[in-house]
Amino acid sequence: MEFKFISELTEPMQIKYFLHHLELPRGFTTAVKFNGEILLNDQPVSVRAMINPGDELIMVAPDEKGHDTVIPSFEPIEIVYEDRDLLVVNKPADVVSIPSIKDPDSAMANRIKGYYVAQDYHNQVIHIVTRLDRDTTGLMLIAKHRLAHALMDRQIQNGQIHKYYQALTTKTNWQNLHGIIDAPIARNDQSLITRVVNPSGKSAQTEYWVQEQFQHSSLLKLQLHTGRTHQIRVHLTHVGGPLIGDDLYGGPLTKILDRQALHCAELHFFQPFTGEPLKIQQPLPDDMRQWILKETTFKIENQ
């Protein structure tokens, strides 16, 4: 894959310093130096060559063949957005993000690998930028090559990737329609899986907006300002409103919702090479919409 850069510097510079100026990841430049090619104005050069203002530098990166440990699955995936560098998919419920001993060939990574194989993409390493829990639905962001992955990780570190969730909570008596739940989260001494709010835990903040309130639940929009395990589930349980379907934290299971009612509905980030701001959205899944329809019908019938 080729990556083009135009020198906008005001004076000549060795290419190795120009690459440092671009803040390209060292692993990427090393791979290009030893297994790819560097072209200056279409001529092969080494990193010791001089680049002048206005010159075009092309980095030809070697193909990423992929790991044999990620078994391709040809289960269909729902693509929400795709360009040369990025892929955004809509993850269904009951699917993990990455393979494990328990799920060696049914994760989203396996399905994406199958898609890459079917498309005959040159790069077949799966670079997942944002993950979701097994029973959380919605948007997952994947980088299609190592450089895009490094640049998207940099956006995460700089707070430039924003994820917004929608959730159905059992809490119906919100005093404030917008606020921040600021409560530290720690491991639960009584469980290997769950987490709890505890003063000894790590700082955690979840911002919420109450979008609708029903008889038995509320629809929330949420943004994580920290990334603690089970953060939304723990914080909502802490304020008296576990998620519908989240029996691990005390939420009620129903025929309509037999999994935690949590959905990644929006992703905001920048295209790593053009700088274009991207806002990707995904509507609520069927089970959450059916729950809302049931609540709305109940409200109308009891007016």
| Predicted local distance difference test score (pLDDT) of residue 299 | 58
Active site residues: 133
Among the candidates 24, 45, 60, a domain finishes at 60
Same domain? 103 vs 138 = yes
Asked whether residue 219 is assigned to any structural domain, the reply reads yes
Q: Tell me the pLDDT band of 297, cut-offs 50, 70 and 90.
A: confident
pTM, to two decimals: 0.92
User: Which stretch of 240-244, 277-281, 293-297 has the lowest confidence by average pLDDT?
Assistant: 293-297
Same domain? 169 vs 295 = yes
Asked whether residue 14 is assigned to any structural domain, the reply reads yes
Among the candidates 130, 158, 186, a domain finishes at 158
Q: Residue 212: name the closest of 273, 151, 171 by CA.
A: 171
Q: 93: domain CATH number? A: 3.30.2350.10
Same domain? 167 vs 141 = no
| Predicted local distance difference test score (pLDDT) of residue 26 | 87
- Run of H or E residues at 69: none
What domain count does the chain have?
Answer: 3
Contact assessment for residue 141 and residue 129, using Cβ atoms and an 8 Å cutoff: yes
Q: Residue 233: name the closest of 297, 188, 269 by CA.
A: 188
Same domain? 210 vs 131 = no
| Predicted local distance difference test score (pLDDT) of residue 293 | 95
Helical pair 146-157 and 26-35, crossing angle rounded to 10 deg: 170
**Per-residue pLDDT reduced to its tens digit, 131-185:** 999 999 999 999 999 999 999 999 999 999 999 999 999 999 999 999 999 999 9
| pLDDT, mean of residues 222-230 | 96
Q: Tell me the pLDDT band of 298, cut-offs 50, 70 and 90.
A: low
**Per-residue pLDDT reduced to its tens digit, 78-126:** 999 999 999 999 999 999 999 999 989 999 999 999 999 999 999 999 9
Cα separation values, 259 from 39, 137, 168, 263, Å: 53, 10, 11, 11
Same domain? 71 vs 137 = yes
Contacts of 197 (CB under 8 A, 6+ apart): 183, 184, 185, 186, 234, 235, 238
Asked whether residue 133 is assigned to any structural domain, the reply reads yes
Place of tokens 């025929």: 255
Same domain? 190 vs 136 = no
Cα separation values, 59 from 1, 39, 44, 113, 121, Å: 8, 7, 10, 25, 19
| Predicted local distance difference test score (pLDDT) of residue 68 | 74
Q: Residue 33: name the closest of 61, 14, 58 by CA.
A: 61
Instruction: Give yes or no for residue 300 having a pLDDT over 60.
Output: no
**Per-residue pLDDT reduced to its tens digit, 52-73:** 999 999 999 999 987 778 999 9
**Per-residue pLDDT reduced to its tens digit, 227-277:** 999 999 999 999 999 999 999 999 999 999 999 999 999 999 999 999 999
Same domain? 135 vs 212 = no
With a pLDDT cut of 90, the percent of the chain lying above it is 91
Burial 132-155 (b: 16+ CB within 10 A, else e): bbebbbbbbbbbbbbbbbbbbeeb
Asked whether residue 275 is assigned to any structural domain, the reply reads no
| Predicted local distance difference test score (pLDDT) of residue 156 | 95
Same domain? 84 vs 17 = no
| Predicted local distance difference test score (pLDDT) of residue 287 | 97
Strands (E) located in the chain: 2-6, 13-14, 37-40, 43-44, 50-51, 56-60, 78-82, 86-91, 127-128, 137-143, 162-169, 178-182, 185-187, 195-197, 205-213, 218-224, 262-270, 277-281
Same domain? 93 vs 182 = no
Among the candidates 97, 130, 158, a domain finishes at 158
| Predicted local distance difference test score (pLDDT) of residue 243 | 98
Asked whether residue 202 is assigned to any structural domain, the reply reads yes
* DSSP designation for 74: -
Place of tokens 């809302």: 292
Same domain? 253 vs 170 = yes
Q: Given CA atoms 206, 209, 215, 217 in this order, what sign does their dihedral have?
A: negative
Same domain? 206 vs 226 = yes
Same domain? 227 vs 153 = no
For 94, the domain range is: 64-158
| Predicted local distance difference test score (pLDDT) of residue 301 | 55
Asked whether residue 222 is assigned to any structural domain, the reply reads yes
